[in-house]
Amino acid sequence: MTLTITPCPIKGTCVLERLLANGSVASRQPLPEATASICRNSQRDIMVRIEAQKLPKALVLCGTSDNLTVHKKFVSEGKMTLSFKQESLRFLFANCSAASLTTFVKMLSIKSSVVTPDRPKASLREKLLSRKQDLEDISPLVVSKDGALIRKVKNSSGVTPNSKRRKTVSADDKENIPGTPIRRMLAAQTVVLSKEQREVLDLVKAGGSLFFTGSAGTGKTFLLKRIINMLPPDSTFVTASTGIAATHIGGSTLHSFAGIGVGDSPVGTLVEKLQKRPAFSNWRKCRHLIIDEISLLDGDYFDKLEAIARAVKNNEKPFGGIQLIISGDFLQLPPVNKTGKRKFVFQASCWDEVINRIYELKEVHRQKDKEFVSILREIRLGMIRIDVGWCLPIIVFPHRCSEYCAKVLSDSVKNRVDADGILATKLSTHNIDVDAINEEFFRRLPGASKTYRAVDSPESMKTFLDSCVPVSSSLKLKVGTQVMLVKNTKVSEGLANGSRGVVVGFDRNQLPLVKFKKGITTSVEPVKWIVKGGAGSSITREQIPLKLAWAISIHKSQGLTLDAVEVSLGKVFECGQAYVALSRASSLQGLRVLDFKSSTVRADPQVLEFYKRIRRQDCGFL
């Protein structure tokens, strides 16, 4: 299986700087809408073409490595600077799609770094006779699934077909020889989206507001990250209903972005207060608003946000004309409301007017076992389903599961999920039980403990960071401590968020040595979490990406994939809680349920009706 990497132009705002001989800026020209693309001239040199409405004609500049310097530190934020030495020009691009910009920079680096010694340099006469408009697009690249084999696309547009004479090594061929840096540079491009995920991306590109949902493990967070990289950073705001969920996608909490607190005042009062806060400017700039884990958000709060968006943007379109991209699963954990009156976001007064399209992802990527996927589907719906071949199954015995499902989960108590000193993580319904279990097991371990203190910036945000990132400000470890990795570190080696292990020692730098369930023993170094503040500021915490893992709460497990899980459902008190707990397991063999009862399987009837309506719409019944 191969992946074609096609060069694509980048679009964004730009500032053109003309430089003096000493490097200082002679003049600056804003280019509100600019495009940069990579091409070749008739001598096969790499060229960069810059086009903008405010330029009288396109600028075609030499893009070889001896002339062009690319400043790419802020590519992930949609920013890049191109400096051309011979022409004494500098282009400062901003507000580009991060995904397109990353591809552009990598492609430019690969193509411009190639030196072909066997190709004679063009003579002065050839250069003078050649025309600047004799340009052709650079050829795409083909990458194998593992990124190992990169070659030129044959017979593609703008590429001369192979002749029957003896082949010579072209510039494109040399730059695509296996073993070059291209494997590392394009590794991220080799993840292929499923058909469902591509359809969601197309809906986002179409511009309407969208809610996409799906069961646990269908790739909602992965897809959301691809969408984020596709949108212009300056006008896209990434949020989630909880701090932990926001950290997973590099955003802020929705409450932090909104700047209205809990929103319990009238809209007019909230808007008046908002105008004095930094969040007001974010509302004004916002064209795309992403909200993850929508199931935990209250419907009344969503209505309040919609009214505020119209007022702040001075636009009577739904949500003030902002494109909403919403993700979550209402059959997982429900919203928390202090009044006790639960109202889901899909019950908000503005929901039908705001959301143009709803898409349900159905392909499960987390669990590969079809039997386990079927069991989890039954638990998610909290009912037995009899498929009669129509679009909608007949629903019987709500709030229960089949005898077969109950037997499989009850029998899982016999599963041996502990291995090589790594114990299964216990999922519990209440935080007080989790804390008690972790403290007791840690106390029993012999030997001295080592304490790792987080580096917070600013230090005054410690309490806020505690609620937003999955690591604490202080971490105590001993040899024998059961731990969980809470950040992707070496995904290619199987070390990802949720990987389980045990501390087996400390290295010469006093970093914890952890033996993971994958059979890898490695030192775990501190990493940095960046949390976006409501005013666009960044708050950071640097800490060892581990947490005690004898037990964690079901609420805090949402979004994790665990390879060894022990679940206690005796104290389940919420709809969807049993499903969230069971679906954390990556396989049936890695799951042990201590006290399964069919009565713990519950789904909210209002949510079931909502999903029934979605499926009717998919079938054209509504």
- Helix H, strand E, coil C: the string for 514-572 is EEECCCCEEECCCEEEEEECCCCCEEEEEECCEEECCEEEHHHHCCCCECCEEECCCCC
In a domain, residue 578? The reply is no
Distance (Å, whole) CA 245 – CA 328: 11
CA neighbor of 454 nearest in space, from 473, 439, 440: 473
Average pLDDT across the chain, whole number: 82
Distance (Å, whole) CA 42 – CA 257: 51
Q: Which of 159, 188, 217 is the last residue of a domain?
A: 188
pLDDT tens digits for 536-576? Answer: 678 899 999 999 999 998 888 877 888 889 998 878 878 88
- Whether residues 469 and 554 share a domain: the answer is yes
Q: Which residues pair with 523 in a beta bridge?
A: 513
Q: Is the pTM of this model over 0.75?
A: no
- Whether residues 164 and 276 share a domain: the answer is no
Question: For helices 267-274 and 299-313, what crossing angle results, to 10°?
Answer: 60
In a domain, residue 596? The reply is no
- pLDDT at position 4: 67
Residue 351 pLDDT more than 90? yes
Name the 3-class secondary structure at 215. coil
> Region 352-374: what's the mean pLDDT?
87
In a domain, residue 587? The reply is no
Distance (Å, whole) CA 561 – CA 565: 10
Question: For helices 195-206 and 220-230, what crossing angle results, to 10°?
Answer: 40
Distance (Å, whole) CA 96 – CA 229: 9
**Most confident listed range (54-68, 297-311, 367-381, 396-410):** 297-311
- Whether residues 448 and 529 share a domain: the answer is yes
- Whether residues 220 and 237 share a domain: the answer is yes
> Region 295-318: what's the mean pLDDT?
94
pLDDT tens digits for 112-153? Answer: 665 444 455 555 455 445 444 578 877 777 665 554 434 444
Find where tokens 């967070």 sit: 221
Give the number of C-alpha atoms closer than 13 A to the C-alpha of residue 55, restricted to the C-beta side: 20
Sign of the C-alpha dihedral, residues 334, 340, 341, 345?
Answer: negative
Distance (Å, whole) CA 499 – CA 488: 9
- Whether residues 536 and 457 share a domain: the answer is yes
In a domain, residue 168? The reply is yes
Find where tokens 């805090």 sit: 556
- pLDDT at position 122: 54
In a domain, residue 589? The reply is no
Residue 507 pLDDT more than 90? yes
CA neighbor of 133 nearest in space, from 40, 50, 62: 40
In a domain, residue 266? The reply is yes
**The two three-digit tokens of residue 230, written as one number:** 């596709």
Cα-based torsion angle of the residue sequence 335, 340, 342, 348 in order, rounded to the nearest 10 degrees: -100
State residue 532 phi and psi, 5-degree precision. Answer: -80, 130
pLDDT tens digits for 308-329? Answer: 999 999 999 999 999 999 999 9
Residue 270 pLDDT more than 80? yes
- Whether residues 50 and 95 share a domain: the answer is yes
- Whether residues 100 and 182 share a domain: the answer is yes
Distance (Å, whole) CA 389 – CA 393: 8
Domain hosting 459: range is: 425-563
- Whether residues 513 and 462 share a domain: the answer is yes
Reported confidence tier of residue 224, pLDDT bands at 50, 70, 90: very high
In a domain, residue 465? The reply is yes
Distance (Å, whole) CA 194 – CA 11: 26
Cβ proximity of 618 and 370 under 8 Å: no
Q: Which of 519, 535, 563 is the last residue of a domain?
A: 563
- Whether residues 164 and 204 share a domain: the answer is no
Question: CB neighbours of 525 closer than 8 A, spacing ≥ 6?
Answer: 511, 544
Cβ proximity of 84 and 67 under 8 Å: yes
- pLDDT at position 340: 63
pLDDT tens digits for 26-49? Answer: 999 999 889 999 988 877 888 999
Question: CA separation (Å) from 12 to 79, 90, 98?
Answer: 9, 15, 11
- pLDDT at position 174: 38
Q: How many CB atoms lie within 10 A of CB 352?
A: 10
Residue 364 pLDDT more than 60? yes
Q: Give the CATH number for residue 18.
A: 2.30.29.180
Instruction: Write the single-letter amino acid at 31.
Output: L
- Whether residues 217 and 129 share a domain: the answer is no
Q: How many domains does the chain have?
A: 3
**The two three-digit tokens of residue 598, written as one number:** 């069919």
> Region 11-28: what's the mean pLDDT?
92
Q: Which of 326, 361, 396 is the last residue of a domain?
A: 361
Instruction: Express as a percent the part of the chain with pLDDT over 70.
Output: 82
**The two three-digit tokens of residue 103, written as one number:** 């591809």
Q: Which residues pair with 178 in a beta bridge?
A: none
**The two three-digit tokens of residue 605, written as one number:** 């009837």
- Whether residues 334 and 281 share a domain: the answer is yes
- pLDDT at position 328: 93
- pLDDT at position 143: 61
- In this structure, the strands spanning 474-477 and 450-453 are antiparallel
Cβ proximity of 244 and 555 under 8 Å: no
Distance (Å, whole) CA 368 – CA 217: 10
- Whether residues 146 and 268 share a domain: the answer is no
Residue 389 pLDDT more than 50? no
In a domain, residue 592? The reply is no
